[in-house]
Amino acid sequence: MLKQIGLMYMRLWYYGVVVWLKKHPAPARDENVYTYHQTSQMKVITIVFSMLTILEGGLLHFLLHFWNETIAWITTIIHVHALVYFMALFQSAKHKPHVIEGNKVNIQFGFQSNLELDIRNISDIVAAQPISFETKIPKHTYVSLMQWDDPDYEFILKQPVPLKKIFGKTRSITSVVLRADDMEGMIARIKDFLYYIDEQLLKEDEKVRKHEHKEVSSR
């Protein structure tokens, strides 16, 4: 647990400070890389909450300074961490897109979570239902987006897969709700792979049937 907290803390400062200051280039979009931050509300939310955090932190520090300087600095440190978190979430979303590699698809949500999914484990792809702050998310559903954004599709899985969350906790997932800047392109790529797998299975079945027929005929 402590190791996971330490790793999370390192990722937080890496994406919130190092990546932001050094202006590392984000991965280029192609047929295997699908970003999700460009058409998201994430940038607006990051700017708004960062400004509110700075204003609130400065005001609280000023007011608490007259009462207890130690508490004033503690609240300031908390607000600095909150500011770094918002920056880290947006920067990591830019640098950690959804990626399709072979028969695997990595579905990511910034530095917070990452799900490696075998495309062959997808039983169905359906249009996702709208999500609001009042929506009760099923325990076995992984929502890979901010609740300010509208989801695009939901992947229904054949078999449950483990999802490791930000502090190392793992839970079993049977469906995935996600969005992407080019969601249709991503879905087409996945469906092409599934179609290829179906074609291969049909060919294998045909070979088996021909072999069985040949054995029967030779008797």
Burial of residue 125, with CB atoms counted within 10 A of its CB: 0-12 exposed, 13-18 middle, 19 or more buried: middle
Burial of residue 101, with CB atoms counted within 10 A of its CB: 0-12 exposed, 13-18 middle, 19 or more buried: exposed
Query: Tell me, what's the pLDDT at 60?
Result: 87
Q: Domain spans of the chain?
A: 2-95, 98-199
The pLDDT tens digits of the residues spanning 114-133 come to 899 999 899 999 999 888 77
Phi, psi of 27 (to 5 degrees): -60, 140
The answer to whether residue 105 scores a pLDDT higher than 90 is yes
The pLDDT tens digits of the residues spanning 58-79 come to 898 888 888 888 888 999 999 9
Cβ contacts of 54-61, under 8 Å, gap ≥ 24: 54/79, 54/83, 57/82, 57/83
The answer to whether residue 151 scores a pLDDT higher than 70 is yes
More confident residue, 134 or 118: 118
Query: Tell me, what's the pLDDT at 216?
Result: 52
Query: Tell me, what's the pLDDT at 1?
Result: 61
